[in-house]
Structure 1
Amino acid sequence: MLIHPHRPPFPVRALAAAVLAAGCASAQAAEDFQLRYNLAGSLGGEIFAPPDLEGLAGGIALTRVDIRKVTGDDGHRLTQTVPGGTVPLPAPTPSALYPSYGPTTGRIDARGSLLQWNLALAWLSQARYGGGRLALAVNLPYATKKQGFGADAATPALNWHPAVPAATQAAVQAQFGAQFQRGITDQLAAEGGRVSGIGDLELHAGWRHADAQLRVLAGASLVLPTGRYDAQAGPDIGFGNFYTLRPVAQVVYLPRPDIALAGRVTVGLNTRNHDNELRSGNWASLEVAAGTMTRLGPIGVHVLQAQQFQDDSGNRWGTSRYRSTNAGLFWTTRIPVVDAVLTLQYMATLQSRNAKHGTYSQVRVSKTF
């Protein structure tokens, strides 16, 4: 045995660590390469909601997320450079004869899916304050998450001292390559899997003004780390052991009763993750939507841009600034039997950096009481 069977060479460990940090690995990547925000879209047919809303409302949403890749800082699949080093040979071989190897780059293939239910309750005051009504809401998710990983990394060639016999060189290179690839496969298996559970609870408070042409919403949400999270390998439902405050401002303008234009600005302010001391940089999102009222209900398009405006702190990937541009369609209709509102939404990622890249589909039903 020319290489210790229980001590993988350094590049195996280094690339395995890189793979563990990618895709859905929240232990090493800021917020799991995602944000605490609904990328299926927060502006749908509800932009046509009547101005006189008040009292209690409830809703349930089902969201399906399919991730086909995770992007790096260049917008392409996430990669990691593994530094070079040397491979020790059995004693009494002098260290001067140890083979060296140069750096190599591994391309990480991360795929996964999320099926999430959200139960929400909202209340709008009957009384008016400053021309608008006070709004309170709570949102609790339950999700099932699956993830899997692959990596494409060429085994580096070993550089030898001429004094080492050719037969020894060939044997060590073969064993080195086998351990290199096996180490990556073993580590990837630990990060894949399936998990279900309650996610991170959201509490909302705001103020809503609405008249025939203009609807304005201003407020903030606080996201609590109630979802399951473990800094070790494996999938997580929660985003991490930290809090996010999300101030939001939304404006809807109806130039005529059958046309609506809407814009929504959200800012995400994160605390430090107490489990791994990583602090995800603060971020902002801009969502715009345009819809028209048809005989079957409102239909329209929406575009969402979300990105960090602050670097991560303590992230092994560096600044790792998240950026994602998404676009899609929405349709809303009324269910007369139960007097409820049904909304279908779809979003697809157009381009991204340091982010999950995929599609987002959502079905939600809401009802006022």
Structure 2
Amino acid sequence: MNTFRRDRSSARMLTLKTVALAAAISASSVALAAENGNQRYSPGIGGSDMTSPLVPGWYGQVAMVAYHASKIKGNDGKQLQQSGNIPQAALASPTALGPTGAGFFPQGINYSGAKVGIKTDTYAILPRITYLSSEQVLGGNIGFTAMLPLVRREIELSSTVPTLAAANVATLNGIGASAAVTSLPRAVQAGIAAKSSDTYGIGDLEVSPIWHLEIGDHQHMTVAPTVIIPTGDYDASRRANAGFGNFYTFRPSVQYAFVGDGWDVGARLLLSFNTRNKDNGYRSGNVLNIDYQAMKFVSEDIRLGLQGYVVEQFTDDSQDLTGYSVAQRMLLANSADLSTGNKMRVYAAGPALGWLANGGEFLLEGKFLKEFGAKNRTEGQAFWLTLSKPL
């Protein structure tokens, strides 16, 4: 939630033939922490609400974000290298080995060393409505906030040619299928690229009660136990989706701000707890988010500062495909190494600039956040532009 005002006594503001085989084995999806390396929170969305006082009333906000990444990192923090297995069912296709040849590989054929490249862009508009009542419970004001995103995502994947396991290569040569030693790795490469996709649509609805407590003249705290409902467009076989999946997320948050006569500082701590996705059996691990901001007025209506965030997944991903057919398992299986937990991590920091128009008619805020230290997810940068207005 973002709200704002102008307070003259403190001057503070209150405040988005190989092609067929490749299709058959494209279930060897790129390993990303959580499902598709995403989470139901936009790190960096918090802004002036973290460093400003809050008063009762209705507020509207539209946050807009453009996120771009050209790096994808693995569990070691380096460029992701894909390993996986071509299942026997895929090998049995006429364009691979056929039923007879596939019979020599009941456990499929293992591959490794495919260095994955990515180019991804996300553009989102995040409209939010917030209300804070003058009524109090346990000394704090109560209210609610709701947000429904509009999202466009584009993901383009590529990879180098992987290497087949030495034992599998020996078996292929022994049965007279040496051509497959070349064709299968290239089909895996094409299968990874086949996961490229783009989409646009409505995202998942967020709703939350809020409880706001003033702590003296310069400090305040806001608690928001948010529930995210799977209203967004989603297809389990598609890499890019407007929604995050057929599951629910409970995301309690605590926000603290110190608003003084110099620098204003604030931080928001969130914990995301996910249920299992009913469409593919995947359960994304729980995630800690910390957003922070420090701002200072440099003129009557302009303030400048620093913003950043921390994303740290603290429980493992898992997937349960019990009850799914073999064909469904091939399509839905995530090839991430779940034995490592497949936990995501990333940090970001950058400048923030705010303009308070006409003494409080509206607030326009922009920021640029650069990510670093990523694991099991993309590493990129985001441009944010947020308009907040009392209603």
1:322 corresponds to which residue?
344
2:182 corresponds to which residue?
177
1:280 corresponds to which residue?
284
Q: CA offsets, 1:202-225, max 9 Å, x none? A: 002111123531011112111111
1:344 to 343, 354, 366: 366
2:194 is paired with a residue of what secondary structure? Answer: helix
Q: CA offsets, 1:265-312, max 9 Å, x none? A: 111111111111111111212223222122142221123112111111
Q: What is the identity, as a one-letter code, of the residue corresponding to 1:119?
A: P
Q: 1:92/1:280 Cα in 2 relative to 1: closer, same or farther (>3 Å)? A: closer
In 1: Cα distance, 2:361 partner to 2:129 partner: 17
1:147 aligns with 2:155: yes
Q: 1:122/1:347 Cα in 2 relative to 1: closer, same or farther (>3 Å)? A: same
Q: CA offsets, 1:113-156, max 9 Å, x none? A: 01101111100102333332112111010011111110112455
Quote the RMSD (CA, aligned, Å): 3.4
In 1: Cα distance, 2:226 partner to 2:50 partner: 20
The aligned runs of 1:245-284 (5 Å cut-off) are 245-254=250-259, 256-284=260-288
2:82 to 80, 83, 91: 80
2:221 corresponds to which residue?
216
Q: 1:117/1:92 Cα in 2 relative to 1: closer, same or farther (>3 Å)? A: closer
Q: 1:85/1:30 Cα in 2 relative to 1: closer, same or farther (>3 Å)? A: closer
**Any conservation in 1 of the 2:162–2:185 contact (CA below 8 Å)?**
no
1:243 aligns with 2:248: yes
Q: 1:312/1:103 Cα in 2 relative to 1: closer, same or farther (>3 Å)? A: closer
2:355 corresponds to which residue?
333
For structure 1, the 5+ residue unaligned runs are: 24-28
The aligned runs of 1:15-34 (5 Å cut-off) are 16-18=26-28, 20-22=29-31, 30-34=34-38
2:79 is paired with a residue of what secondary structure? Answer: coil
**Any conservation in 2 of the 1:41–1:347 contact (CA below 8 Å)?**
no
The aligned runs of 1:3-14 (5 Å cut-off) are 8=21
Q: What is the identity, as a one-letter code, of the residue corresponding to 1:336?
A: N
In 2: Cα distance, 1:110 partner to 1:293 partner: 39
**Any conservation in 1 of the 2:144–2:209 contact (CA below 8 Å)?**
yes
Instruction: Please report the TM-score for the alignment, with normalisation by the length of structure 1.
Output: 0.81
In 2: Cα distance, 1:72 partner to 1:277 partner: 22
1:63 aligns with 2:65: yes
Q: 1:263/1:84 Cα in 2 relative to 1: closer, same or farther (>3 Å)? A: closer
In 2: Cα distance, 1:163 partner to 1:278 partner: 38
Q: If you compute each CA radius of gyration, which structure gives the higher value, 1 or 2?
A: 1
In 2: Cα distance, 1:149 partner to 1:82 partner: 16
1:45 to 45, 48, 56: 48
Give the fraction of aligned pairs with identical amino acids, expressed as a percent: 23
For structure 2, the 5+ residue unaligned runs are: 1-16, 320-333
Q: What number of residue pairs does the alignment pair up?
A: 343
**Any conservation in 1 of the 2:51–2:293 contact (CA below 8 Å)?**
no
Q: What is the identity, as a one-letter code, of the residue corresponding to 2:361?
A: D
In 2: Cα distance, 1:251 partner to 1:351 partner: 26
In 1: Cα distance, 2:136 partner to 2:174 partner: 88
